[in-house]
Amino acid sequence: MDADVCVIVPTIREFECVRSYVDNAEAHGFDTDRLEFVLVTEDHCPTGEMAAMLDDLGVAGEVFDGSRRETWLDDHGVGDYGHLIPARSHAQTSFGLLYLWAHDHPYGVFIDDDTRPHDDVDFFGTHLRNLEGKRTVESVRSDENWVNVLYHAADDHGLYPRGYPYAAMDETVETGTRGVDDVVASQGLWTNVPDLDAVRILMDGDLQGQAETRLTDADFGPDFVVDPGHYLTVCSMNLGFRREVVPAFYQLPMDDNEWSVGRFDDIWSGVFLKRAADVLGKDVLTGDPLCRHDKAPRSTFDDLHNEVAGLELNEHLWKLVDDAGDDADTYADAFASMADALLEAEADYRNGDFLAHVGECMHDWLDCLDELQSVERAVPADD
């Protein structure tokens, strides 16, 4: 079987995480020939060792440091769009989206290198079943138009994930049930270290970038979808998605910008994806498969420094795009309407000009995808 799942792994240190995910696939009978790994790394990292690991595991894959990314973009006729992939940023995962787009993979999976699959969970199989299946699931909404993805046990732990607007806290949650038959993104959640922003980590009493509170399987309830017109944080550490969403799923020009805004690449792309999905009548499913998040200790104040430039913008961005693209009938049209909303916004906020920069890059993203024609997959020579 040809690889139909592009697994995108941003990594600079823990690339051996790939072994755990391949082992999980084999243990649960998921055909690893369906997987192609794209490791997105830096020039100073051991790319040779990464490539050797993929060979040892017997899985298809490529390793792209900064220099090789530039070459790939040039070879595919989109070298003028290199500015869309920020340097030294988690948002380099957007390169993986371009690779997926060029090679016609119908599915993608984002995996962070500080995660591991749960042994008793069919990681890839669960994501694919979420994206392909039809079933009835829990539906959630709130009086603040935001849903805390950790809401099932929020009364016990009081946690809100990274990117959840502070103004939307203390919400009243309502649940029901709804049939879903067109899921375009499958967001798996995480045990062990919760994904919090630096302010919330400091409130939880930790100076090493990790909350004191830990999460277990028991903190999560059934899979759920968030009602149209309501938003949720989307974390790319454990996320499956369909190729069709790529035009509305750019991971944004974080960190490498004159405003020093960072750490909101997956959060804001999740806002745009949810808005586009709502317009087009699609769903984002959240819950299983769980993974274990083993975040390495690092300075909480370093994370705070990287986040603070965008904290105020995060409170307002979703409102600026909330009515954009009402008449859109494609992801690209919806995304273009949201880009226009950011370009036209009277963003009288700290670093408000960054939103117009994001809007410009969003339009460039769509232009890049238009120019990036599908390429023939190379056929290995017979030995």
Higher per-residue confidence, 248 vs 2: 248
Q: Cβ of 221: how many Cβ atoms within 10 Å?
A: 12
Tokens for 288?
A: 């299983």
Q: How large a percentage of the chain has pLDDT more than 90?
A: 92
State which H helix or E strand residue 187 sits in.
Answer: strand 183-192
Question: What is the arithmetic mean of pLDDT over 56-63?
Answer: 98
CA distance 187 to 195: 13
Question: What is the arithmetic mean of pLDDT over 5-27?
Answer: 97
Residue type, 42: E
- Residues 197, 203, 209: CA angle, nearest 5 degrees: 50
Q: Given pLDDT bands bounded at 50, 70 and 90, which one contains residue 2?
A: confident
State which H helix or E strand residue 64 sits in.
Answer: strand 60-64
Q: Cβ of 55: how many Cβ atoms within 10 Å?
A: 10
CA distance 314 to 231: 13
- Residues 44, 48, 49: CA angle, nearest 5 degrees: 100
Beta strand residue intervals within 86-172, DSSP E: 107-111, 115-117, 135-142, 146-147
pLDDT above 60: residue 383:
no
Could you report the per-residue pLDDT of 149-200, keeping only the tens digit for each? 999 999 999 999 999 999 999 999 999 999 999 999 999 999 999 999 999 9
| Residue 205 confidence (pLDDT) | 77
Lowest mean pLDDT among 297-306, 346-355, 369-378: 369-378
Q: Given pLDDT bands bounded at 50, 70 and 90, which one contains residue 376?
A: very low
pTM for the whole structure = 0.95
Q: Is the dihedral of CA 205, 207, 209, 214 positive or negative?
A: negative
Q: Given pLDDT bands bounded at 50, 70 and 90, which one contains residue 380?
A: very low
43 contacts 65 by C-beta, under 8 angstroms: yes
pLDDT, the chain, mean:
95
State which H helix or E strand residue 284 sits in.
Answer: strand 283-293
* Beta pairing class for 60-64 and 35-40: parallel
Q: Given pLDDT bands bounded at 50, 70 and 90, which one contains residue 36?
A: very high
